[in-house]
Amino acid sequence: MHLAVYQAREDVQAIVHTHSPHATALACLLKPGCSIPPYTPGYAYSVRHLQFLPYYRPGSQALADAIRQDASLANGFLLQNHGVVALGGSLREALGIAEEIEDNCRLYLLTQGQARPLSAEEVEEIWRLMN
């Protein structure tokens, strides 16, 4: 899985894979195809898009292939019934993305998915201000 990411994304220099409790709980609750909206500016800026992958056996070629296929779309992956994969240009950046994913998933669970997410326009504004 890790090698597949490095092969697909030259800009990625670090990967953090966690089984953080809130993100993993959400990965067990949701079905692939569901999306978790951005609730905070930090999440919207650093994660950009959280790709939710169906369950694949850990260490399998199928998991590596799925991540490789979608690596250009996202800085973070939620793996069904497994955990989180966060990608970054440095270990610090990848860890920060993993933390943002965990925090956003915690907000989703605490609010039962009913919190007001940031709109597409608000996310765009964050990107304009930060870049």
Handedness of CA 61, 64, 66, 68 (dihedral sign): negative
Domains, the chain, with CATH or none: 2-130 (3.40.225.10)
- Does residue 32 register a pLDDT over 80? no
Give the pLDDT confidence score for residue 31 in this predicted structure: 85
Output the pTM of the full model: 0.93
Q: 3-class DSSP state for residue 78?
A: strand
Helices (H), 9-112: 21-29, 41-46, 61-70, 91-110
Encoded tokens for 66 = 């799925």
Please report, as a single letter, which amino acid is at residue 32: P
How do residues 44-76 score in pLDDT, each as one tens digit?
999 988 999 999 999 999 999 999 998 888 899
